[in-house]
Structure 1
Amino acid sequence: MDFEIKLGSENERRIKVNHNQTTSFLWEGENVFSTPSMISEMEETCRLLLKEQFLKVDSEWDSVGTVVDINHTAATPVGAEIILKAEIIGVDGRRVQFKVSTEDNLEQIGEGKHERFIINIPKFKEKFDLKVKRLDEFQKR
C-alpha cells in the first residue's frame, strides 16, 4: 500500500497527568510525571497523527515506535494539564520521523525526536506469533 505522508503535518493532544504516570521513589505521596510516561504519551501523539490523518482508510495498517531520542527537562505534578505536540519532519518509505515536544502551563517539559515504522498488522502478528512459538520451543530445551 502506498501512503502519502505529508511533511509538516502536526498533531496536538492535551491530557492531565494522573497518579499512575508518576515516579514512586522520590518522596512519599504522589510524585512527578515520569520520563517513561512522557515518552509513551509522545509516541501515542505521533501514532495518532499517522493513524487519524493517513492510515484511517485501512484498519489493517498502524505504526510502531522504533527510535526515541527525548530530553525530559522539567518536573510536572499529578493533575497538571500537559500539551503534547508532534510534527512529521521526515519520511522514507514506511519510516516516519517526528519532532515532538511537551509542555505544561508554565514551561516546556520535554522535547526530542521519535521515529515510527508503518506496519501491516496481520503480517506483523504473523511474524510475532512465529517468534513466540520459536521462543517457547527454545525454552523447552
Structure 2
Amino acid sequence: MARLEPGLRCVEEFRVEEEHTASHVGSGTVRVLSTPAMIAFMEITALHCAQRYLGEGETTVGTMVCVRHLAPAPVGVVVRVEAVLEKVEGRRLLFRVRAWWGDTLLGEGEHERYIVNTERFLAKVEKMLREKQEKETKS
C-alpha cells in the first residue's frame, strides 16, 4: 500500500444545500454557505484523502482548523474543495485546504489531523466518560 506523503492532493465537490447556510446553522442570518459548513467540507475532503492510505482499524481525527472565509456562495452551487498534504510528522498530518465556487476562492487555510487506532480511541473516550460520570456522582 502507498504511503501518506507530502504533495498528496485530493479534490471533492459539494452542492450547497439549505442545511449548509449560515441562517440554518445559526452562524449568521443569510442564506449563503456558512463558515462551519465550508470547514466541514474541507475536513471531509482531508479525511477521505488520508483514509485510503491507512491500515485496517485506523482513521484520522481533526485536531486543528485555521481557515479564512473570503467570499460567499449561494444555495444550489457546487463548491470544489482541495486538500493538499503538506507535512507528515509521525501520526500528525497537516493539510493546506481551499474551497472554490467556479474561479472564486471562497476560503483557505490549514487543517491538522492525527492518525488513530479507532478501537483504542473510542475506548479512551469511553474511559473519560465513565471517569467524568463517577466524578459527577461523587459531587
TM-score, with length taken from structure 1: 0.90
1:40-59 aligned within 5 A: 40-52=40-52, 54-55=53-54, 57-58=55-56
| Unmatched tracts of structure 1, length 5 or more | none
Alpha-carbon separation, structure 2, partners of 1:26 and 1:132: 35
Give how far 1:118 is off: 0.3
**Percent of residue pairs bearing the same amino acid type:** 31
Mapping of 1:54-133 within 5 angstroms?
A: 54-55=53-54, 57-58=55-56, 60-133=57-130
Secondary structure at 2:41's aligned position in 1? helix
In structure 1, distance between residues paired with 2:44 and 2:135? 33
Which of 13, 17, 26 is 2:29 aligned to? 26
Structure 2 residue matching 1:42: 3-state secondary structure: helix
Q: CA deviation at 1:35?
A: 0.3
User: 1:5: how far off?
Assistant: 1.3
Counterpart of 1:81, as a letter, is V
Q: Which amino acid aligns with 1:9?
A: L
CA RMSD of aligned residues (A): 1.3
User: What one-letter code is carried by the residue in structure 1 that aligns with 2:81?
Assistant: L
Structure 1 moving runs of 4+ over 2 Å: none
* Unpaired stretches in structure 2, ≥5 consecutive residues: none
TM superposition shift of 1:106: 4.2
State the aligned residue count.
133
* Local SS of the residue matching 1:64: strand
